[in-house]
Structure 1
Amino acid sequence: MSAFNGMIIGSLVGIIGTGMGGAATYFLKNPSNRFFSGIMGTAAGLMLSIVAFDLLPHAFDIAGLTLGTIGILMGAILISFFDMIIENMDIAGSFIKEGVLLGIAIALHNFPEGLAVGSGFMVSQSLGIDIALVIALHDFPEGLAMATPFSAGGIPPYKNVIYTVLAGIPTGIGALIGVVTGGISPYFIGLNLGIAGGAMLYVTCGDVIPEARNIYKGKISILGMILGFIGGIIITKYL
């Protein structure tokens, strides 16, 4: 797989996923917390399933348990560093400012997801497709979460689409790096998969699941996670 194709696929994954979330503001003028909770729970279950049953097993098979585990720690530490920066920002203020900060957070999170796509395609087309599909589904609620405060602040839907598409572009950059470094050595592929897996675990367990539970206290997020987890197993087995 060429580096150019890897970048294109990664870019499309991020752009389509977050862009669809932005486009949803044409139809969802005021999405309920229950809706957000359910769709975020489903996305979390999908991500956990793919990471546990597809992404990390490939990392360990290619690079070994030690290097794969080092990659997981590197990915988690990298995202935790960016999370600390974002948390230290003053998010009090207008809806527009909240949307901008969410956009920054989503863009940072999209980079390791792109890395997973690019590295996955270097292993096999099926793994790359599995990861790309799950990330596209995961990016939809992120794009919607980013666009909602923009809508509340008076930003029209077409601009929401533009802003969410921009937040998805780092996925393409991550995919390019995943393909390029994966071509250097198989160990780089395994390490990249471990880094992407660690980053995705951090985002899922540290951000997506707690947020899904916080915004709505009912059981919808738990049911969504279970369905998403089962869906991830099906995707892993048949795609």
Structure 2
Amino acid sequence: MTAVLVAAAAFLMTLIGGFVAQRTRDRRHLVLGFAAGLMLGVVAFDLLPEALHQAPGEVHGVPQALLLFAAGFLTIHVIERAVAIHRGHEGEYAAHSHGHHHGDARSAGHQGVGLTAALALVGHSVMDGFAIGAAFQAGTTVGTVVAIAVVAHDFADGFNTYTITRLYGNNRRRALTLLAADAVAPVSGAAITLAFTIPGHLLGLYLGFFSGFLLYLATSDILPEAHSPHPSRSTLLCTVAGVGFMWLVIGFAG
């Protein structure tokens, strides 16, 4: 039940991210930089160690959890390439910063791309909720740090869902509808885990896979987006602060 309550916090954070996207201009890079740091911290300091503990077996000399880690990273990379939703961050955010009419004129006829990207983020948010539930099954400490990272980066998810939907020429109502779906998704994912207990070995494999998924989002989506408007030392410091914060959280929780 704790997992569902935490997922409800992710629900609220996703909505906040979406609404901030409608109003924020020059400060979003700091929030996204911090979120990327949290994601990196939770992967390096908690998810991967727990995955290796739960699934220590090896395949051809490599731990199974690390094979799934690589598979998770490559899976989201291949999916993004296949459906062409990995944005050219600099060009599109430069256009977006001058107003929606620029983006709409440039991306006329590409509304479907925006919808595909937003739906992919919704699917990812379902996985976020599933990860929260699975992490709490692994233990309260793991669940807590995963929850903090997921809730923090769901702000970025909400922000991205609204922004990219509008960027490709979709109207505000459609963007808000997808934002609402993205907000509900982690609650649904967490609720699924209430129906069954995941065996330890499978849990380790899943955590390894999700680690790769999360690292890809942090390094290939969130960080480039944070630095694209105007790269700055403050953004970099926020990322380092996010990593440091997660180190402290895990240290105190342990």
Bin for the TM-score computed over the shorter chain: 0.7 to 0.9
Change (3 A) 1:12 1:186: same
Aligned-partner SS, 2:244: helix
Gaps of 5+ in 1: none
Alpha carbons of structure 1 residues 192 and 95: separation in structure 2 relative to 1, 3 Å:
same
Inter-partner Cα distance in structure 1 for 2:82 and 2:122 = 14
Q: C-alpha distance in 2, partners of 1:88/1:39?
A: 22
Task: Label 1:184 to 1:150 Cα distance change in 2 as closer, same or farther (>3 A).
Answer: closer
> Do the aligned partners of 1:109 and 1:203 also contact (CA within 8 Å) in 2?
no
From the superposition, tell whether residues 79 and 171 of structure 1 become closer, same or farther in structure 2 (CA, over 3 Å).
Answer: farther
Q: 1:81 to 1:11 in 2, by over 3 A?
A: farther
Establish whether residue 124 from structure 1 lines up as the match of residue 139 from structure 2: yes
The equivalent residue for 1:64 is 56
> Once the two structures are superposed, what CA deviation does each residue of 1:97-116 show, in whole Å capped at 9, x if it has no partner?
67534422321332332232
In structure 2, the partner of 1:22 is 18
- Residues 211 and 82 (structure 1 numbering): CA distance in 2 closer, same or farther, change over 3 Å? same
Larger radius of gyration, structure 1 or 2?
2
Which is richer in helix?
1
For residue 179 of structure 2, what is the aligned residue in structure 1? 164
Q: How does 1:88-237 map to 2 (within 5 A)?
A: 92-93=107-108, 100-148=115-163, 155=172, 162-176=177-191, 183-237=197-251
1:23 alignment partner AA: F
| Match for residue 8 of structure 1 among 4, 11, 23 | 4
Give 1:48 shift: 0.3
Q: Is the 8 A contact 2:114 2:166 kept in 1?
A: no
- Larger mean CA deviation between 160-169 and 144-153 belongs to 144-153
How big is each residue's C-alpha offset from its partner over 1:11-45, in whole Å with a ceiling of 9 and x where there is no partner?
Answer: 424422211112336xx63x22x412111110000
Query: 2:54, 2:6 → 1: CA distance?
Result: 22
Contact map agreement 2:76 2:216 (CA 8 A) in 1: yes
Write the deviation string for residues 126-181 of structure 1: whole angstroms up to 9, x where unpaired.
2112111221111113212333466787627xx86553231133324443555667
2:101 corresponds in structure 1 to: none
Greater Cα offset, 164-173 or 184-193: 164-173
Aligned partner letter, 1:155? R
For 2:13 and 2:83, locate their aligned partners in 1 and report how far apart those are by CA, in whole Å.
Answer: 22
* Aligned mates of 2:66, 2:54 — CA distance in 1: 12
Q: CA deviation at 1:53?
A: 0.5
Q: Which whole-Å CA distance do the structure 2 matches of 1:93 and 1:70 have between them? A: 41
- CA separation of 1:211/1:136 partners in 2, compared to 1, >3 Å: closer, same or farther? same
How big is the alpha-carbon RMSD for the aligned residues of Structure 1 and Structure 2? 3.1
- Once residues 199 and 155 of structure 1 are traced to their aligned partners in structure 2, the CA distance between those partners, rounded to angstroms, is 29
Residues matched between the structures, number: 228
Residue type at the aligned position of 1:20: I
Question: Quick one: percent identity of the two aligned structures?
Answer: 23
Aligned equivalent of 1:50, options 21, 36, 42: 42
Question: SS at the partner of 1:87?
Answer: coil
TM-score for the superposition, normalised by structure 2:
0.76
Larger displacement relative to structure 2 (104-113 or 134-143): 104-113
Question: Match of 1:142, SS?
Answer: helix
Listed as ranges, the gaps of 5+ residues in structure 2 are 58-62, 88-105
Bigger mean CA offset, 58-67 vs 107-116: 107-116
